[in-house]
Amino acid sequence: MVQTMSKGILTKAFALMFAVGLLAVVPAAVLADGNGNGNGSGQGSDDRQGNQWKDQSGYLNGRPEDIGQERVQKMLAQSAGHGFFGGFNLTDGVADGRFITFTLDTTSGEVADYALRNGTGVVTVFDSIQIPGLEVQDLDVHGSVMLVSNDTLQVILHDNPTGMFHVVANSTNVSVCFLLSSAMAATLLPPADDGNDNRTVVSIYGQGILGLIATDQGEVTLEQTAQGTYVNVTVSQDHVMFRARPVFSHHHMHGSALLEAISGGRVAGEMSLMVMDGVASYDTMEYQKGFTMQLMSAEKNRLRFMVQSEEHAGKVVVINVDQGTIDPVNRELQVRIDGAEVRMTSNPLEVLYAEGSGSSDAACCIVSSEGTQQVLLYVPSFSTHEVTLTSVGPLDALFTTGGLLAMAGAAALVVVAAIVLTRRRG
């Protein structure tokens, strides 16, 4: 009687443990899949129609109107504190951002007194930036991005430490004229070392600022006038960008090497993002016309991106996050491309100068500084890839599908062993 009762109790216990294990597997599988495409809004230049629009800025897992202005400002303040990106205030043509300032003619699109803030004050880089013939049809300000556009032309200005100024044209013979301030100088650099002889880069420097003006296939001339030095760029179905080394942003500890890699065409794009209370805020810069980088899902300690390029050669992508989003200090960071784990290295130059087209050539380096991480990832060859960043804690493996099945299996073995012992005693 006792043996029969013990056997019945143990059998029920085994069934209960097995059922709990199966029920636990279902939510774990859902969580492992992330948030899908999220429920949010891309802002700024999130329209990819006609292969014209580039760069993105916005929120994932929540719209600004739903988040609330107080929460939006809190996220921007924390982002600016990390040196990621800020937000524009445009009043009567004067744009005042956390990292850049300028004035804008809302009819012609001409930009004047384009300046970057550094650790000691404001440095004017360009007295003016003109695009002859530009007629502004749309002017939008969303967080860290200002978008000035018409049917065939887009001007994207980023309020971030790089001072990114980006022009994308879907028409021919578009001229962009940069008039340097008297404190700045320009030098035309030799052809890029990425094998693209059409890529042209001009180095811009002075007053502690080091930057570049680059175009993939455009024509560039330097002109000395009574007003100063002009860098004139003409593009057709192409883009031109200005990007500076963020000397006052602590998470770019190797900013000069990164800028040189961008100049050489080895870096395709960069994204800064942070997750606060389940909502992701991000700013994307795409350094090549045929390259796109998109945030697909974001939650704490797990990010998923899509990267694609018309050029098949391997390129580097850069992801800047804070420790509240991805914690590699107390947890192990795993980086995967299309599900395959990427080799980690402690040398950022090994990633920036990586070569090879095989999947085993993929490499990743994490540079941590003052609560931020800069992830450098070499993607060996391009079509369309999914990149995932997952920060795994010491107990996280127990709550994956495999871990829960293993625990259920272990529990089942314990129950079976107990039954066997009970029978032997009987």
Structural domain spans, the chain: 2-24+395-425, 41-392
- What's the CA angle centered on 422, arms 419 and 425, to 5 degrees? 150
Please choose, from the candidates 251, 247, 183, 189, the residue with its C-alpha nearest in 3D space to the C-alpha of residue 214: 189
Can you tell me the distance from the alpha carbon of 112 to that of 128, in angstroms, rounded to the nearest whole number?
Answer: 4
Position 315 scores a pLDDT of 96
Position 69 scores a pLDDT of 81
Q: How far is CA 65 from CA 35, 100, 106, 187, in A?
A: 20, 25, 26, 45
Q: Which amino acid is at 61?
A: N
Can you tell me the distance from the alpha carbon of 234 to that of 194, in angstroms, rounded to the nearest whole number?
Answer: 21
Give me the residues of the chain with pLDDT under 50, please. 1-7, 9-52, 251, 397-399
CB of 125 closer than 8 Å to CB of 180: yes
Can you tell me the distance from the alpha carbon of 36 to that of 306, in angstroms, rounded to the nearest whole number?
Answer: 12
Position 359 scores a pLDDT of 92
Three-class DSSP category at 62: coil
Can you tell me the distance from the alpha carbon of 294 to that of 46, in angstroms, rounded to the nearest whole number?
Answer: 9
Position 411 scores a pLDDT of 59
Which residues face 32 on adjacent strands? none
Residues in CB range of 410: below 8 A, 6 or more apart: none
The tokens describing 425, both together, are 């005693």
Can you tell me the distance from the alpha carbon of 135 to that of 178, in angstroms, rounded to the nearest whole number?
Answer: 18
pTM (two decimals): 0.81
